[in-house]
Chains A and B, each alone.
Chain A
Amino acid sequence: MNVAVLRLNLELDKATHDRAQLQAQDATLASQLSSELASPRIQKQAQKDGLVQVDPSTIGYIDLGK
């Protein structure tokens, strides 16, 4: 009985450790994603690729209520 409890405890400990590692990997990936989404980076890249910001006055909106 004691041995079984001991084994379970060790397995629980390992599972907790694995969970912590997965959470850490998740945080690292989320951080990388956020860095990739950062506006200054995207704007710089867009400018490099020759893109320019659209003048809002040139955008048309359709009012579906009318």
Chain B
Amino acid sequence: MRDKQANRRIRLLLVIFALVFAGMLGRAAWLQVVQAADLSKMAQGQQRHTITTPAGRGTIFDRTGVQLAIGEQMTTVYADPSQVVNAAVLADTAHKILGIDANALYVQLQNKKSQFVYVQRFADPAKAKLFLAKHFTGVDSYPEEKRIYPQQTVAPQVVGYAGVDNKGLEGLEIQYDKQLSGRPGKQTVITDPLGRAIDVISSHPGQQGEDVFSTIDHTMQAQAELVLRQTLAKWGAKAASAVVLDPTTGDVLAMAQAPGYNANNSNLVSQALQRNRSVTDTYEPGSTFKLVTITAALSDGIVKPATKFTLPYKLVYGSCDQCTVHDAEIRPTETLSVAQILAQSSNVGAVTIAKLLGASELSKWIAKFGFGKTTGIDFPGESPGFVLPLDQWNETTIGNNPIGQGISVTPIQMASVYAAVANGGVWIQPHLVSRVGGRAPQTWKRKRLMSPAVDAQMKTMLTGVVTDVGGTGTAAAIPGYTVAGKTGTGQVANGAGGYSKTDYEATFVGMVPASHPKLVVLVKVDDPRGSIYGGSVAAPAFAQIAKFDLQYLEIPPDAAHTELNGGTSAG
């Protein structure tokens, strides 16, 4: 009886074990087979982490290898308010060590619903280390690259700037953003339950952004900016810009403007101040445009430098009310050669030659010189300027286009055209970057604008602007060097279909040494007061910039001394 009862209990136990075992087997099968994929994914998600390591942004160098823009590693300190124990002490310590506003941080730390608050972004690494050594609960940090412009006020409009996320927002920073940015890296790590990395499964190193080598020379750039600031102060002008080109290569050696600002504060200055006016802004070139008219007439064989014209002070060139043009200064009827027309910047002479040339030919030459089209300089937002198409020309166009009115150009367009004259008649696409990484970013376009013979004639005539009796550009003379160039005084549109009576653009663009030009310098001064002429406002600034650059580049003088025969200020 007792044995029977014992056997029954054993069988019951066996059944229970069998049921438990079957249950466990079923559960195991459920986990291993049915839910295996989901659970495996969940485990991987908890243990494996893919970390993106940002690629360092490339450096922008000037032509001498000095850094214009560089990424410096800073420390970003943050806090999780939900974990912070004593917000007041934390905020006070952050104020003492990092120098931040304790009250503002304290208010942010009081918001316990938030899990992320910047204590300080881009903190000084040494100070951040000191702060982190206090071991506040809920406070941590990560390294972050900040774009620094160590030359500060030098070339801010050209270099541009990158935002807090290290993306280019202006200037060369945005133009070459793709190359500067590089490729971020990826690392897959296994972490323990506390989140500490215990193994690295895979690692794809990031690719550092490429370095960009600009054609700008920081010393020449700084000098040009200094001269522009002095010119601005002397003439009470609104703004001024200058372009220095190497005519043999198309390299932009300096592209300066005033007023300027510290590139490290780019986010604080107005958009207007950040514009690189030499590329993005247009102006009426005035008499500097006579180069096009005269070159066209010489190339078409209509005139020679010695061809003479009898010119009144005032010329009526059509039947409309506005169809009159006069020279800058009242004078009796004179006989002037083409060279004298250019040297004395005679409007009447230039229009007379243009009428011989004809509207169609003049329009063709304006297009050939590249006006109305962008130069293709490697800078964002280039303006093509404005040129009236031939089919829209009216009776006044032949009277104003030849003297640089009713047409708008950018300083870089005008400087590159004068650089073509300096370069034997061959135009080279101007550019701001010579190398990206180890290679040229692109092949720069070249085109011949005039024959070598016409080019030589133009150079001689442009030298006369600076040296001849009555020349408008005598203030551009540099002792020991021959200078060729042209003055310009452009009118400013008043927004009501006419011209301002008070505002002008004074320009001088020239080349040195004129016998074998190594530099082309354009200076433009907006709205000068006291004098409005390119010859008296812009030409001295040209001389100051060119004088420094010639010495800096150790270009030997090509003349014992430049004889000045006196001149006028018009043009």
Contacts and interface: CB of A to CB of B under 8 A. Distances in A.
Interface in B307-321: none
B534 to A, nearest CB: 23
B197 A38 contact: no
18 contacts: A9-B200, A12-B200, A13-B197, A21-B73, A23-B56, A27-B72, A28-B73, A30-B59, A31-B70, A31-B150, A32-B150, A33-B150, A34-B66, A34-B151, A38-B150, A55-B479, A56-B481, A56-B550
A63 B72 CA distance: 46
B548 A53 contact: yes
B154 interface: yes
Interface string B196-217: 0111100100000000000000
B115 interface: no
A59 B479 CA distance: 11
Interface of A: 6, 9-10, 12-13, 20-21, 23-24, 27-28, 30-35, 37-40, 43, 53-57, 59, 61, 63
Given A38-B154, A40-B154, A56-B480, A9 B199 contact: yes
Contacts of B59: 27, 30
Contacts of A24: 72-73, 125, 143
B249 interface: no
Contacts of A40: 152-154, 222, 226
Interface size class of B (residues with CB under 8 A): 35 or more
Q: Is the interface of B mostly helix, strand, loop or mixed?
A: mixed
Contact of A27 (B70, B226, B547): B70
B150 A54 contact: no
A18 to B, nearest CB: 13
A21 B478 CA distance: 51
B74 to A, nearest CB: 9
Contacts of A56: 478-481, 547-548, 550-551, 557
B219 interface: yes
A61 to B, nearest CB: 4
B245 to A, nearest CB: 19
B200 A34 contact: no
Q: Sorted from nearest, which 7 A-B pairs have the closest CB atoms?
A: A24-B73, A39-B222, A34-B150, A57-B479, A56-B551, A61-B556, A34-B67
Interface of B: 56, 59, 66-68, 70-73, 125, 143, 148, 150-154, 197-200, 203, 218-219, 221-223, 226, 478-481, 547-548, 550-551, 554, 556-557, 561
Contacts of B143: 20, 24
A10 B59 CA distance: 30
B96 to A, nearest CB: 24
B337 to A, nearest CB: 31
Contact of B73 (A27, A55, A63): A27
A32 to B, nearest CB: 7
Given A20-B73, A57-B479, 12 more contacts: A10-B200, A24-B143, A27-B70, A28-B72, A28-B73, A31-B67, A32-B150, A55-B479, A55-B547, A56-B480, A56-B547, A57-B561
Contacts of A61: 554, 556-557
A38 B71 contact: no
A55 B70 CA distance: 35
Contacts of A34: 66-68, 70, 150-151
